[in-house]
């Protein structure tokens, strides 16, 4: 138990460091655009007068305000945003049929076994692929969504392992991180892309021109930086959620292993990239189906680690 809690604490420290880095990059981009706006004679002078508020950093403040508004909107509407594009149904209490009642019963078992004081909303999403995800800003408004194809093709223990995996994301507190990082990444890329073309003119002073050149470079390297950071965060959180699932399954890793194998086989047989038209939940899925720059660790690595746990 102590070791498990220590690993969670270490993982939270890593993810908090990445959030700080994101916010630093976020403010840095805003200041660069402000330096171009005020036509600063040098880069250092521009940073100094803006940071000390001798000149109001309008773009930076507006950018932070927009980010706060978008994050606020996302928090208030994340369920509709993430579930849009597919028919879905919330499973309340025991459900209206055998499958829904079984799913509700499994969630109740996990909550009892984990001694949790909250119960996430449970959704069944109509989709031709096998996947699941968890989201929310905090435990009290969290959700778990399972696709109908996943529920139909997994055994009860395997469904329970998948649900335990998603419940672990909520227990570990990384659902808030995923929402925040996703919003900040999109806004940063948008600002960099348009910031280069703001306040055009060849009569800019040296500092403004340097700032514009940095923004131009960031146009190309920032997407790679955000991908690397998202990969680091997501892969770390997936390994932790796999471990959390085994913990909630009383140390039995085989249901999780079988579930991952079946989900992977499902995607190997068909290309669902064109079917799933909601990109906002791709980083949240239990299985990432993108081959290049996937935010998820490979199924082989995840199974290898789970097999090591089963031998202990």
The residues that are catalytic are: 166
- Given phi > 0 = left and psi -120 to 50 = alpha, else beta, which region is 251? left
- Tell me how far apart the alpha carbons of residues 136 and 120 are, in angstroms, rounded to a whole number: 9
Q: Count each helix (H run) and each strand (E run) in the chain, helices first.
A: 10, 4
Tokens of 174: 């990384």
Beta strands in the chain (DSSP E): 88-90, 121-125, 132-135, 143-147
- Tell me how far apart the alpha carbons of residues 112 and 159 are, in angstroms, rounded to a whole number: 17
Q: What's the chain's Rg over C-alpha atoms?
A: 22
- Selection from 227, 226, 197, 222 nearest residue 212 by Cα: 197
State the distance between the two ends of the chain, measured CA to CA, in whole angstroms: 15
Cβ atoms within 10 Å, residue 98: 8
CB 16 within 8 A of CB 202: no
């Amino acid at each position: 138990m102590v070791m498990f809690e220590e690993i969670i604490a270490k993982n939270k420290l890593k993810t908090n460091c990445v959030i700080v880095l994101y916010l630093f990059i976020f403010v840095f981009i805003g200041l660069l655009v402000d330096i171009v706006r005020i036509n600063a004679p040098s880069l250092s002078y521009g940073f100094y007068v803006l940071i000390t508020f001798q000149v109001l950093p309008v773009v930076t403040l507006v950018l932070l305000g927009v980010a706060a508004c978008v994050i606020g909107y996302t928090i208030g509407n994340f369920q509709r945003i993430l579930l849009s594009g597919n028919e879905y149904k919330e499973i309340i209490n025991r459900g209206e049929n055998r499958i829904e009642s079984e799913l509700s019963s499994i969630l109740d078992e996990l909550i009892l076994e984990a001694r949790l004081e909250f119960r996430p909303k449970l959704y069944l999403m109509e989709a031709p692929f096998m996947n699941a995800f968890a989201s929310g800003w905090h435990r009290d408004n969290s959700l778990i969504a399972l696709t109908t194809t996943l529920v139909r093709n997994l055994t009860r223990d395997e469904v329970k392992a998948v649900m335990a995996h998603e419940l672990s994301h909520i227990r570990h507190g990384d659902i808030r991180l995923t929402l925040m990082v996703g919003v900040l990444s999109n806004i940063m890329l948008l600002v960099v892309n348009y910031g280069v073309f703001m306040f055009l003119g060849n009569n800019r002073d040296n500092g403004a021109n340097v700032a514009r050149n940095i923004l131009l470079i960031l146009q190309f390297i920032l997407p790679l930086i955000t991908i690397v950071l998202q990969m680091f965060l997501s892969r770390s959180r997936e390994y932790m959620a796999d471990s959390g699932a085994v913990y909630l399954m009383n140390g039995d890793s085989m249901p999780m292993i079988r579930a991952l194998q079946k989900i992977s086989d499902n995607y190997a047989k068909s290309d669902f990239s064109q079917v799933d038209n909601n990109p906002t939940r791709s980083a949240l899925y239990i299985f990432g189906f993108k081959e290049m720059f996937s935010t998820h660790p490979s199924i082989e690595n995840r199974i290898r680690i789970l097999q090591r746990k089963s031998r202990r």
